[in-house]
Structure 1
Amino acid sequence: MKLRKADEMEKDHNLKSARNAFIFYTAALFIWGLIHLIQTGNTGVPITILLVGSAIFWFSRSFLYRKTQ
């Protein structure tokens, strides 16, 4: 089985889908963390996952930006 390279339209669709998924997961974890904070008084796992995921996103974006400069 041979893999083919994605064309520009497919790359654009993948980029937009990844952006939408990132926004959804960020919003879902934020809402879950907020509800958890109100109910228990501590931030717990959802906020930790949200912060670590956001940090990975921004550090990798910064690294790739500097790499292309």
Structure 2
Amino acid sequence: MRKMDEMEMSISLKAIKGAWAYTVLFLAVWGVIDYIQTGRFGFPFFLLITQNLVFMAIQTFLKWKLGKDEK
């Protein structure tokens, strides 16, 4: 498989961001509806929170690693 060029990489990142935003919105709406119906936070809320925690942890790690490599 060949390496992606900058335009393909940009398109791919925009698609990933769009899919991520859709998932976050979907889980948030599902979580609110689930909370209204049951009175407790269920699986959608748990998935929403953990997904964003994993995202932030990976982003923080990669920024730290990049900063460490530049020194």
User: Identity, % of aligned pairs?
Assistant: 36
Equivalent position to 2:10, from 1, 12, 17: 12
TM-score computed with the length of structure 1 as normaliser: 0.95
The question of 1:37 aligning with 2:46 is answered: no
Figure out how many residues of one structure are paired with residues of the other and give that number: 67
1:31-60 CA-partner distances (Å, limit 9, x unpaired): 000000000001110000001100000000
Unaligned runs of 5+ in 1: none
Cα distance between partner residues in 2 of 1:62 and 1:6: 25
Instruction: Give the letter for the 1:66 counterpart.
Output: W
Which residue of structure 1 aligns with residue 24 of structure 2?
A: 26
Which residue of structure 1 aligns with residue 60 of structure 2?
A: 62
Q: Which runs of 4+ in 1 moved over 6 A?
A: none
Unaligned runs of 5+ in 2: none
Which residue of structure 1 aligns with residue 50 of structure 2?
A: 52
Cα distance between partner residues in 2 of 1:58 and 1:22: 13
Cα distance between partner residues in 2 of 1:62 and 1:53: 14
The offset of 1:27, in angstroms, is 0.4
TM-score computed with the length of structure 2 as normaliser: 0.92
SS of the aligned residue for 2:40 comes to coil
Instruction: Give the letter for the 1:22 counterpart.
Output: W
